[in-house]
Structure 1
């Protein structure tokens, strides 16, 4: 009976079963165990994570609507603020402890919204969660699914979410603001506003025991009703100085980077994203391999224009801090453009 009820897929069925598990936990433990086991297995998502499942296609172009990644291999762990890392870890832990949650009449987080500027780690965070749970990550880029025939876009969105509900996976709705714009925006046509309604309905219908993530670079553009649909909202800020330092050490992968050099490079990338930092570090490492030089010096050379944007009072002191180790006064002058007289001046007053 429990399996038939869960397989029926009616709205609220799983919530009712969770309440029953909690109510009969003491008086009918065998019945409670059957409910817990059924909800853990989820008849609606009985396909193995690695199994091949036909992906939904656009009705006209016949191109895949989703990007599927499994297994997920990360080159590095996300470098995030501690509060963001803790929230992501809790989501992972909830799915690892579904049985205990069901017995308590609860369900793990269904939906989470990741908000922040480009390059701050939203997609990497989604990939990390999928990797930790050993589930495929299905990514729907909502900016690309938009069709000139908006009615078909709504069909495509429904098709994707139905597919994602049918097998164990994590669904990522990327570029959410491409669809879920404010419905009071007078520049948007009525059909697009109806598309927002379709998306809201699909998120509301998302089942317990499955995880839907959404990411946006422009939270200010989202329809207010969208925010209420998400159990968790995570705001990803630009990296702090300590996060930049950690990323520099990791990406450069070069021993004996001086604290002064770390401080300077972090200062040069203050207000920028980790993805831009990683891109520049990889360019510098390639240049260093070809010239048989130092990755750190190659990065400083690449970031020379950033150095010139520092306040004049900071440039001389920052450049002088690089002198020593394997960097001569001449090398620092060539890398930074600071005159050797200025370098000597600040070198003499360094403590």
Structure 2
């Protein structure tokens, strides 16, 4: 005898689901198959890791090419080449930023493209990351733009005297502050010379001191300005320091300012004229041992200083630790205060603590 099975009762939910194209109890496999097909289509339509992030990859390559070919960027438009070279160390910050974007997008092409700027930056600046200083040395030199607006010139002088420098160059000395510097530094430095707004204090005798004309432009009066007027605004000097190893020619310079102007771009006309004149003076220098101290208002990566860097080398690059940024004092971003040498060997180079100036003092230990 056959058992009669109760007939299945069709509910409203089943009827509605079937009417909407859904799956009933016997259509589960069919729905799963459709969902699987949709997932495959979606996955297949996504770009692979090598096709993701094309913009990030392009930006990485552009960054690398800018750093690699910075010398080819022209100065005709807004002095763009010099501005790029001034800020060149900071271009490295874009590498981790782009790397974070590449990892977020899971872009293999962008990660590979970032190898170019990373390698170029390390090739240019990697040598500055370590400490290249050595113990010893025969002479300590220091340079400081003391700032015309320094609220405490006497305190700045005492701080600089405590540095132990044998030669101390000051820039931006005002007529009002000059007596204060002379009084506070007299005990530590028996010899000194001040011409215009620059001066050198020394533990060793000085001779043959003369101004170096780095202005090359005296406005509407041209070269007809009286000598005493020119001297008042003199911004560079050359003197001879008598050492037990023979004469040492020391230059102290404060080149013209550099300004970022919306109309003119990176304005450096006065500075560049001064750099050219200073390079000419250094080329004519016959003393074997030469030291240049001063605020040059530019980094040594800037092409404007090629006439100087062709004859002298930076103590910071040879024997420093890090970049040695010196301006602005509150948050140093560039090294525009320089110690450059020829005929002597830098053993160490460092930045001194802040004073009342908007610049940080820089120092170096030299050996014969």
| TM-score, length-scaled by structure 1 | 0.25
Larger Rg: 2
